[in-house]
Amino acid sequence: MSFLLAVALLLGSGLSLLSALRLRTGRWAVDLPLSWFAGTGGFAMGSFALRFLAGVRYTAATALAVLALPVTALALRALLRRGGPAPAASVPPPGGRWLPRPAWLFALLAAYVGATTAVVVLQGVNTPTQTDDGFRVRAFAPVLAFRDVFGPEAREVLTMAGPVPSYVPSLGWRLTGAVDHFHVNGAILVSLVAFLALAVALASSRGRPERGWAAAFAALSLPLFVYHCTTTYADATLALYLGAAFFFFLEFGLEGRGADAERALLLLLAAAMVKREGELVAGAVGLVLVLQVAWESRRSDRRLLARLGLLCLPYLLVVGARVASVGVEGAFPFLRMAVHKAAAAPPATVPGAGPGVSAAAALPPFLWAVFSSGSAGILYWVLPVAVALRLREIVGRRLAWALGAVAVLLLQAGVTSLWLFPEYTLNQGTVHRQLIPVSVLASVWLAALLAGEQGPPELAALPAAVGPAGRSKARRAG
C-alpha cells in the first residue's frame, strides 16, 4: 500500500510541477504518465539537494515538503496573479484520434504490447534482487537513502546510482517506516507502464495513434531492454526516462510546438539523474535539442531558447549536491577517466587478450553485439535501410535532428566500447547494456519514421498555426 501511496503522491506532485511550469498538455491521458517522469525527477532533485547541499535530514516531513514544493509554487503563482488578467486556459490541441488504422494490424501489435507488458510486470514484481550490482549499488542505494546515514562509501553508492533510482523507491518506506525491497522493482515497472502509456496517448492526441503503438511495439522488441525491466538494474530506467523525453523531442520536430521542447528538456533533466551515465547520455540528447531550437529560432523569437536555459538552472543544485557529497573528482568520474585515457600513451592492455590490443580488436565483437547477439532484436538491421530509403522524408518531416541525437548516442557508445573500455566489448560485457538507451531511442525514432506517415484527415483542416507552415506562431501553444 505504501508503494501505491508514493505513486499517487509523485503523480500529484508531477502534475503540479507541470502546471506550475505551464507544461500540461490539457489531456489527462498524456499528462498522467508525463507527470510520473516529471514528479519523480522533481522529487529526487529536491530530496538530493536538500540532503547534501542544505544538510537537511531525509524524513517523512521533508519528503512531503519536497513533494509539496510544486503545489506551493502553483498556489503562489495563483495568488500573485489575483486581480490581474486570468491566464489562458490550457486548451488541448485539436486532431486527437485514438484508433489506429488499419485496426486489425494494430490490434495485433497491441496484443503483443499487452502480453509482453503483463509478463514483464509479473516477472518484475515477483523477482527478488539477485545480481551483484543490484545488491551492492542499484537496489541498495534506496536503502541508504532511507537510512540517511552517509559515510564516504554510502555517498559513493548514492552517486553511482543517481538521485532518481535512490530516492523514488524509498519514498514509500520513508512515509511508513517499513522497507519492502520490491519497491525498487515497482518503480521500474511503473516507469515502463508510464512510458508505454505516454507513447500511445501522446501520439494519439496528436492524431497519429499508429506512431504510438508502433513505438511501444518497437521498444518491446528489444529483448535485453525488456529483460532489464524485470531486474533492479538502472539501464532500463535510464532508457525509459530518455525515451519519454524523446517522444516530446520528436513531437517538437514534427509539429514545432515550443512547449514540447520544454517538456523534452524537463524529462531529460530527470534522465540525467539516473546512474552516473545519465548525465552523459541525457546531456548529449539535450544538446542536440537545444541546437535544433537555436537553429530554428535564429531569425526569430529567442524566448524559447531562454526558457530552456532557465529550465536547466535547477539542475545546478544536483551538480552542487553531488560535489558536496563526493568532491569534484568523484562528481565527474567520466571526465577523469577520459583525461586519464587520453594521457595514457601506450595502447590499452585488455584483460584476457594480452597486452597491446588496439581498439580495432574490439570492433568485431562490437558489431556482433549490435547485429547478431539479439540484444536489440533486428533494430540495427532495419534502421540504416530505413534511413537510406526514406532520406527525403526524414528531412521533409524534420526528423533529422532527432536522428542526430540517436547518432550522437551511438557514437558515444562506440567511443566508450571501442576506445575507453574495449575490454568490456571483447568479453561481451557492458557493451550490450550501454546500448539499451540508444536502442530504445532508435526504436522510437524508427516508429515515428515508418508508422507516422498516415496522418489523420482532420490534420489537413487545422489552422496553419499548428502545421509546419505556422510553426513560429504556434511555438508557445500547449
Partner 1 sequence: MHAEAPPHAWLAAGRRLLAAAAVAMLAFAAPPARAESPPLREVPVQALAGAAKSNVPLATSSLGLEVGVETASILLLALQGAEELEIEYQASGILLLTFLTVDASARSLPDHRGPPYRYVRVPPGRGRLDLDLLSTAHWSRTGIPYLLLEGSGRFIITRLRYRPSPSDRASLREALDRAVFFAPLPIGYTTVNILEPPYWSYAEGSFLYDRLGAAFLVLAGILALGYLLARRRSPPAPALALAALVVAAPADLLFLGKLARAAPLSVHLDPEARIRENYAYAPKLGALAALARATLRPDDRVAVEGHGPDWFAPEALCFNLAPRRCVTIRPGEREYVGLAGVDRLRPDEVDAIVSIDADRPLPDGFSRVAEVSDNAYIARRR
Size of the site for partner 1 (CB under 8 A): 86
Amino acid at 231: T
DSSP 257-301: -HHHHHHHHHHHHHHTTSTTHHHHHHHHHHHHHHHHHHHHTTTS-
Nearer to partner 1, 20 or 239 (CB): 239
Residue 130 within binding range of partner 1, rule CB under 8 A: yes
- Of residues 30, 453, 21, 443, the one with CA closest to residue 242: 443
Instruction: Look up residue 57 and give its DSSP letter.
Output: -
Nearer to partner 1, 44 or 376 (CB): 376
Read off the C-alpha cell for 53. 547541499
Piece in contact with partner 1 (CB under 8 A), picked from 15-23, 117-125, 199-207, 320-328: 117-125
CB burial of 164-198 (b: ≥16 within 10 Å; e: otherwise) equals: bbbbbbbbbbbbeeebebbbbbbbbbbbbbbbbbb
Nearer to partner 1, 34 or 203 (CB): 203
Nearer to partner 1, 204 or 375 (CB): 375
Instruction: Give dist(CA 259, CA 266) in Å, integer.
Output: 10
- The only residue of 128, 309, 356, 364 in contact with partner 1, by rule CB under 8 A: 128
Write out the binding residues for partner 1, residues 407-426 only, by CB under 8 A.
Answer: none
Amino acid at 295: W
Nearer to partner 1, 269 or 402 (CB): 402
Residue length, the chain?
Answer: 478
Least separation, in Å, of the C-beta of 464 and partner 1?
9
Write out the binding residues for partner 1, residues 236-275 only, by CB under 8 A.
Answer: none
Residue 25 within binding range of partner 1, rule CB under 8 A: no
Residue 429 within binding range of partner 1, rule CB under 8 A: yes
Residue 283 within binding range of partner 1, rule CB under 8 A: no
Write out the binding residues for partner 1, residues 434-453 only, by CB under 8 A.
Answer: 446, 449-453
Least separation, in Å, of the C-beta of 274 and partner 1?
17
Nearer to partner 1, 106 or 241 (CB): 106
**DSSP 3-state of 122:** helix
Least separation, in Å, of the C-beta of 460 and partner 1?
7
Q: Around Cβ 336, how many Cβ atoms within 10 Å? A: 13
- Of residues 44, 40, 53, the one with CA closest to residue 10: 40
Nearer to partner 1, 129 or 176 (CB): 129
Write out the binding residues for partner 1, residues 391-410 only, by CB under 8 A.
Answer: 392-393, 396-397
Least separation, in Å, of the C-beta of 265 and partner 1?
25
Write out the binding residues for partner 1, residues 203-232 only, by CB under 8 A.
Answer: 214, 220-221, 223-224, 226-227, 230-231
What is the chain's alpha carbon radius of gyration, rounded to the nearest angstrom?
22
Whole-Å CA distances, 342 to 114, 336, 339, 345, 419: 47, 10, 5, 8, 10
Write out the binding residues for partner 1, residues 140-199 only, by CB under 8 A.
Answer: 140, 143-144, 146-147, 151, 153-154, 156-157, 179-182
CB 252 within 8 A of CB 475: no
Write out the binding residues for partner 1, residues 325-384 only, by CB under 8 A.
Answer: 369, 371-375, 377-378, 381-382
Nearer to partner 1, 307 or 322 (CB): 322
